[in-house]
Amino acid sequence: MSVAGQYTCVTKTPMGDQASTLTVVAEGDRFTGSNAGAMGSMDITDGAVSGNTLSWTSMMTSPMPITLECTATVEGDSISGTVKAGMFGSFPMTGSRTG
């Protein structure tokens, strides 16, 4: 099964649970897309696909600018991984495919 699709995700952060919609457009071993939530939408950069594992970076601008480093594994219609927010540490992310 392809990793491409749209996922409804929740990232557990010190600011509470952050819901978002992750869109993955896979092209071989690369992917593009976005992650959109209450704080806005972030484009995916450096998206890489290795089997069913995704890795990417995104630039968060609100409430402060910070580069997010993300990894996630897709298993069926589920996705789970980690979002590293610089000096603030890493936070778990889970979700399910919606499209």
Domains contained in the chain, CATH given: 5-97 (2.40.128.120)
pLDDT at 1: 63
Phi/psi of residue 2, each to 5°?
A: -75, 150
Q: Which residues of 40-52 are buried (b: 16+ CB within 10 A; e: fewer)?
A: eebebeebebeee
- Global confidence as pTM: 0.93
pLDDT mean for each 10 residues of the chain (99 residues): 93 93 96 92 96 96 89 97 94 95
Sign (positive/negative) of CA torsion 32, 3, 74, 29?
Answer: negative
Look at residue 21 in the predicted model and tell me its pLDDT.
Answer: 98
